[in-house]
Amino acid sequence: MAEFHRVNINTHGERDIIVTRAFEANRTQLFAALTLPEHLTRWLLGPIGWAMSLCEVDLRPGGKYRFCWSRGSDAHEVAMGGTYVEIDPPYTLIATEQFERLWYPGQALITQTLSKREGKCSLHMTMSYESRDARDLVLKSDMAAGLELSYQKLDNLLPGI
């Protein structure tokens, strides 16, 4: 089992959330886990108790992605998607993000960079929102707990990627 690392979340300026996390993997493994549907469906959790029911990825600049999560007990789903802005494997992934049922106003720009540090792969993610209010809504959500659970699941999958 991979060594346990904790997600670190901070704010920057008026509109940004900065997420950092180390993984016991190389950049190629982590980039694949962040971009390929066969890996995303295994670790990217939605609301607790929900499962990813759709994972569409057109991995190219201008390409779209869409993720849906659903509960088996009802027809309700949570869906989000966006457009890839920049892709530089295995270093950088930039995409927009917007939920179909808005729970924060507008969309976000998500910039993920991967670097090698002390034998580990470090993920640095900047989440830039359209306003401070949008950023603060996200901070008040269970985003931190959800990211941590997803990344713990990813820790266990990375050795096989």
pLDDT (tens digit, 9 = 90+) per residue, 69-127? 988 767 788 899 999 999 999 999 999 999 998 888 899 999 999 999 877 899 999 99
**For the domain bounded by 8-160, which CATH number is listed?**
3.30.530.20
Domain boundaries, the chain: 8-160
Q: List the alpha helices (DSSP H) in 97-141.
A: 132-140
Q: Percent of the chain beyond pLDDT 70?
A: 96
pLDDT exceeds 90 at position 49: no
20-57 per-residue burial string, b: 16 or more CB within 10 A, e: under 16 = ebbbbbbbebbbbbbbebebbebbbbbeeebebbebeb
Read off the pLDDT band of 3 (50, 70, 90).
low
Burial class (CB in 10 A: 0-12, 13-18, 19+), 95: buried
